[in-house]
Amino acid sequence: MKKFFKWFFILLLVVIAGAVTFVFATWDKKFDAPLPAFKASTDSAVIARGKYLVYGPAHCASCHIPMDKIGDMKKGIEVPLSGGWEITIPPGTFRAPNITPDPEFGIGNFTDAQLARALRYSVKHDGSVLVPFMPFQELSDADVTAVISFLRSQPAVHNEVKPRELTFLGKAVVAFGMIKPEGPKNPPPPAVTIDTTATYGKYIANSVSNCVGCHTDRDLKTGKFTGVPMAGGFKMPADTFSYGYGFISPNLTPDKETGIMATWNQQTFVARFKAGRIHKGSPMPWENFAKMDDVELKAVYAYIQALKPVSNKIERVVFQPSEKMPD
């Protein structure tokens, strides 16, 4: 018996040493993902659409700004996208990079294809994986072009942002393929018609504004969707940006009893978005969404109204810093 344990422990040590060696040897791996053939445009209408998406519905500007400019952004100021926003989570410390055209610290030396690949396949310019902060894989071709065209048109800001730092856990998660580049699940449309229909609203809610990413219950550890889309219930515990508050996303489906919007009409919905933030620390990028045009808001409303009502009672949405959130 003693001998058995001895060999068992030796084997265990070998396995652990092997796993650790594997993690250190492979965490920084490069991925093969297509470099999509996009080309930035200098057309002013295309650039304007890009700027609108970046500061409004796609809310790139809620992250790609310096930490000390978050207050300005929340006042509605269009802060330059010089990066620096930083979040520390168990896999590591991640920073939103400078995405102004600075050649040294920004995107000046990245190709249009590298930028498109980052958005569509979550692959960084150096071929490594981007952790999933940006669910824009199914942006239309036209909107990817618009965003890139706007990024190119901005003044360069010479601001260095430190690279990300992965913890051992983060390295292991990448080495074992638990975080890997995610491409589009459905073929992205070449272009979408901008109107007030539910079809366009579905595109905004799912592929641009990520309403579905927060208003659907998910496993907090893996990010996997576990609830009915848009029926709420996703727990968002306090983080660096929430001033200690925790949140559970409300049910947006048009269920008479449990849907938060059951008694709202189109005007209530549009007015609610224009009014902006009510809850300090809410992760919803209200300041960016307040810049959304009526067309997009009416479209999102039409999409939500057409959803199947789902009964999912969210007892509490906001949790005070002193309160414990339910498990």
Task: Report the interface residues with ligand HEC, using CB under 6 A.
Answer: 54, 58-60, 62-64, 94, 96-97, 99, 115, 118, 124-125, 130-131, 133-134, 136, 147, 164, 205, 209-211, 213-215, 236, 247, 249-250, 252, 260-261, 272, 278-279, 282-284, 289, 300, 317
CB of 131 to ligand HEC, least distance (A): 4
**Identity of the residue, 23 or 100, whose beta carbon is nearer to ligand HEC in the bound complex:** 100
CB atoms under 10 Å from CB of 187, counted, come to 7
**Identity of the residue, 5 or 42, whose beta carbon is nearer to ligand HEC in the bound complex:** 42
CB of 2 to ligand HEC, least distance (A): 48
**Identity of the residue, 97 or 188, whose beta carbon is nearer to ligand HEC in the bound complex:** 97
- 48 CB-near residues (< 8 Å, 6+ apart): 150
**Identity of the residue, 74 or 279, whose beta carbon is nearer to ligand HEC in the bound complex:** 279
CB of 187 to ligand HEC, least distance (A): 19
Residue-level length of the chain:
327
CB of 60 to ligand HEC, least distance (A): 3
CB of 16 to ligand HEC, least distance (A): 27
- Measured CA to CA, the distance from residue 43 to residue 134 in angstroms comes to 26
- What is the four-CA torsion angle of 258, 259, 264, 266, rounded to 10 degrees? -160
**Identity of the residue, 46 or 284, whose beta carbon is nearer to ligand HEC in the bound complex:** 284
